[in-house]
Structure 1
Amino acid sequence: MKFYKDHYDVVIIGGALAGMSACLQLQAWGIKDILILEKHNMPGGLATDFVRNGFEIEATLHEMMSIGQPGKRLKVGQFFDDMGVDIDWLPVPECYRVALPNSGIDKVLHPDYDDSYTTVAKEIDEVCPGTYDKVHELMLLCRRVYDSMNYLSVHPMSKVQMLLKHPDFV
């Protein structure tokens, strides 16, 4: 009995997060004859753990962005939902932090889940007075760039169209 077949519809090089995500998406599109080639002895890449000298070492990704709240998913969270991957996401409140030791600034920031970015701007303004408007403007610009990247990843367009529809991205 042969281990490999003579033909596959798709061969994916690398069984880490990107390779396995590509495989999930291809299967969702109805492509079932897929081979994933991985040089390591197990798939997962950085999403694995191993035991050495009796200690379990977790080498996996510990935080992930672009998940969003249930019912209001961002790009990565929507992908997992679409693929039927059920994950109990745990919030990491200390994920965003401004630390400037020489200035005595150390502030944990709390994300807004309504896309207003007012909380982050207020919290930065508390430690750097007078920055609210500019920080808020920057956060809104970052969101427009993020939205443009997500749009452009699935809607090809000419450079002229890109300039007209997504001026902040360019």
Structure 2
Amino acid sequence: MSFTPNEIALLLVALLAGLVLGLMMSGRGKYKRLWREEQSAHHHAIRDRDARLNAANERIAELERQSAPIGPGTATAVAGGVHGRDDLSRINGISQTQEVALNEAGYHRYGQIAALNGEQEATLEARLGLKPGTIAHEDWRGQAHDLERGEKPGLLSRLTGQA
């Protein structure tokens, strides 16, 4: 099989055109450059994250040095002070769900419970699904008054009726 000079010239032109098109399509290292840029951005993000974590840990350590030790009941007092509410579930006879219902009814402080009158007691008993006279029987007002003064209501004081 022999080629004519015209066929050889056409073959060379086709090979040169393929070479030129191949070089144009290769991007001349474009993907390698993009990969390096992505790696650099990743390392930068990792350094930023570590710097933020270190700053946060330093701030936590500083706050721990400044604060007093936490004793029993402190978390409840802080939570009540932040939200403007007392922990009404500390009153014997009030469950967590009843405390939520009391908060929804507008009772957030021990003083509000201590200041209840008979009509308000009856309304609350109906709202909470309690038997009539339950609030008076369990002495919610007395317990709330003690808690408002900072006293812990004790079993003996509730049984004997003495302060």
TM-score (ref. length: structure 2): 0.28
- Say which structure is richer in strand: 1
- Say which structure is richer in helix: 2
Which structure exhibits the higher relative contact order, with contacts defined as CA atoms closer than 8 Å and separated by 6 or more residues? 2
TM-score (ref. length: structure 1): 0.27
